[in-house]
Structure 1
């Protein structure tokens, strides 16, 4: 009870900028370590050759599909859990996290089996060609075998952040990334497994991390207990999970489909173009993941205070988060623009791959200053349970906006059109986010002031 009271004081009373920073720093560190892993993993794969690099890019949407289902349960469950804690309903929160985790593992097993059965048509849909098909099959088959660990890891990280255990979540992310970085060169080069070694390193790291995070519950160190006896699925719990998690699932699935379309569009300009886009996406991810980590610190603050009816704190946390995230994005924009070439050359690409990647990184960076606001408002809708708005924004950046652009722009601007699709989609999503953001802020102000126009001091 004392631990719950401390958390309530942290989220509900302390200065919002301090609370967000306290929760965000572990998430940022964890996400950055994870981004560094993706960067280093891509670097090692690129050293194998252009075909291996392009195969990893084709296999990336497969990994995103698995992550999408982990986020469905993790983000949906964590949002509901945060609100339950704000209402001081610890018993229902315990039941929720148990249902979330067990359901996630079952889903992982099902996805793994289905993925292996339909492996070849799946990778062909995501842009595999005769040059990289053997590499792609070797890579993705191992990912599907480890699907339960990928999904379980994602769910546990989100659930731990929801209860305020951000440091444990951070250590979990760091453990997985560090193990992956260590194992990559061993399996890829020492054991001469090539790209299959990269996939195997990923799954082993994910498995060990899952055991580490799960042990936090088994050793009864968590604020909310997870017990097999609490596995009592209910329509209410699944409705809450799906209401918030489904937009994230749809967004990630659309993102996977979009990357597949982008791979196919790039294939028309050679395997080098596919490899270059793989490099650009991993470098961009290095900057994006820190932003994602920060907004994950914002989400429980907004969710808790909305559940506790402390609407001014919701507004304050949104303003602070928007300011900090926008400043960060402007800094990353400048770094990518100025140092694009030396960053790309870390991957030792062939000359044509390097040329396309440098141009691509600068083009993708054009919309970076707008992403901070878009991400914060998206997280706000998730935090306060606004499913409709969250769904619209979740499927916009890499779905509604991006997919038509990938289909249209290459016919107008050739390879430049492929590279322009993402930043143009970001600009359009920012405009839509601004419209919805104004509406939700007005609603929260009205809730704060109450029907009689007086400030709500609850």
Structure 2
């Protein structure tokens, strides 16, 4: 399998690099998103539409804890990319060892707390009425596997920082294929219902982690750490924390928006409102895979070349990443506008859900063609190690604009106010991020 060495990130043409980094990332995200979609369809058809809402209620808690791994991974990978660009191998190794130690300590601690307060957390995130018993089953089983998922997410970003996107792609595909296979075996074959759905997810995380461990122990990886690298270094911990906090803050805000959305929609439309959002949330994960893939591919290229002081290559990577992602976003927008109703019918045959979800979905996706500017812009500051602007710009979309709109508009426009809040927040945050990105490029890259 031909993969990039880290040094090629500073030599090969940016366009080819971006494609080579982004395509595997996009495929990995696509397969992961298909897994989420098909898993939701199977759960909806084999267990019931309320089960879809139950899984959606659990996601904020499990994803927040797992996002610690992603936060530590992205924060550390920014350091690793710049360290490799500056030919500082020892710092890259120490950073990787510290990432593993911190991920294990934090996720195991939070999972323990999450299991203790299970009966309080599920209702707080909208798991009420008929949703609660199914959500509790799923929550308790999946949470045991969350530390494994966190390590997978952390390791995947490090693999990509090394310039090995194909292996990162495989790491994303393994749990998706494993989860769907186990869905058929455990839910359909053994009739385990919600227990089967939960164990399918947890076992798939273990399969993914096994592959990632194999990669780092094999000759494919440049990062050969020893026990000395696991000892926490204060300066490394501080830098990982500052940069990783950007990703963690974003996921924390996502969890808060899930909490607000599920509770607001339950109040306005009951279980049907929560289920509508659950379907739309799955489509957001799925449909944005090419845009997110470009963003993931862009990070190590920008970080490495910034560390190597190759300013023209950094500028080119920004411009081409936005161009590619915007084109893909336009295609996603057109597809949703045309095929919204057939998409919803694939999830459920519930007439109420089919009647209300397509229109809501179109509003949620209305500003997708321009949102790549916001994603690439905030990612750039994280890639170059500037934690404060990365943090602020990351929060613009959902924290500074979406949540306030969500608290205000439904009071006047009911459920329509919820859906239009997505588009308005996307437009405003894109304008703000575009301004600060342009200013930063003019100041530092010319």
Q: 1:293 to 1:227 in 2, by over 3 A?
A: farther
1:12 aligns with 2:10: yes
Q: 2-side partners of 1:69 and 1:289: how far apart?
A: 21
Unaligned runs of 5+ in 1: 449-458
TM-score by length of 1: 0.94
Q: Which runs of 5+ in 2 are unaligned?
A: none
> What is the match of residue 371 of structure 2?
371
CA deviations 1:121-143 (Å, max 9, x no partner) are 11111111112100111111112
Aligned residue in 2 for 1:394: 394
SS at match of 1:346: helix
Partner of 1:213: 212
1:258 aligned onto 2:261: no
Equivalent residues of 2:290, 2:325 under 8 A apart: no
On the 8 A contact 2:41/2:347 being kept in 1, the answer is: yes
Looking at structure 2, the residues matched to 120 and 289 of structure 1 have their Cα atoms a distance apart, in angstroms, of: 34
Which stretch shifts more, 390-399 or 314-323? 390-399
Shift of 1:5: 10
Say which SS state the counterpart of residue 414 (structure 1) adopts.
Answer: helix
Contact 2:5/2:162 (8 A) holds in 1: no
How many residues align? The count is 443
SS in 2 for 1:270: helix
Aligned to 2:192: 193
Provide the C-alpha distance between the structure 1 equivalents of 2:63 and 2:356, rounded to a whole number of angstroms: 24
Separation (CA, whole Å) in 2 of partners of 1:312 and 1:319: 11
> 1 CA distance for matches of 2:90 and 2:195?
44
> What is the deviation of 1:67?
2.8
- Match of 2:127, SS? coil
8 Å contact kept, 1:76–1:242: yes
C-alpha distance in 1 between matches for 2:102 and 2:198: 25
Compute the TM-score of the two structures, normalised by the length of structure 2.
0.96
Where has structure 1 moved over 6 Å in runs of 4 or more?
Answer: none
The Cα of 1:324 is off from its aligned counterpart by 0.6
Change (3 A) 1:4 1:238: farther
- 1:155 corresponds to: 154
Judge conservation of contact 1:84–1:90 (CA < 8 Å) in 2. Answer: yes
Distance 1:281 1:406 in 2: 16
Task: Within 5 Å, give how 1:126-137 maps onto structure 2.
Answer: 126-137=125-136
* 2:282 is the counterpart of 1:282: yes
Larger deviation, residues 27-36 vs 413-422: 413-422
What residue is the counterpart of 1:429 in the other structure?
Answer: 429
RMSD: 1.5
Once the two structures are TM-superposed, the CA of residue 178 in structure 1 deviates from its matched residue by 0.6
Contact map agreement 1:71 1:248 (CA 8 A) in 2: yes
Residue 91 of structure 1 deviates from its aligned partner by 1.4
Q: Is the 8 A contact 1:50 1:349 kept in 2?
A: no
User: 1:349–1:425: structure 2 CA closer, same or farther, 3 Å change rule?
Assistant: farther
Are the counterparts in 1 of residues 5 and 163 from structure 2 also a CA contact under 8 Å?
no
> CA offset at residue 336 of structure 1?
0.4
Q: What's the offset of the Cα at 1:273?
A: 1.0
**Aligned with 1:226: secondary structure?**
coil
Report the counterpart of residue 22 of structure 1 in structure 2. 20
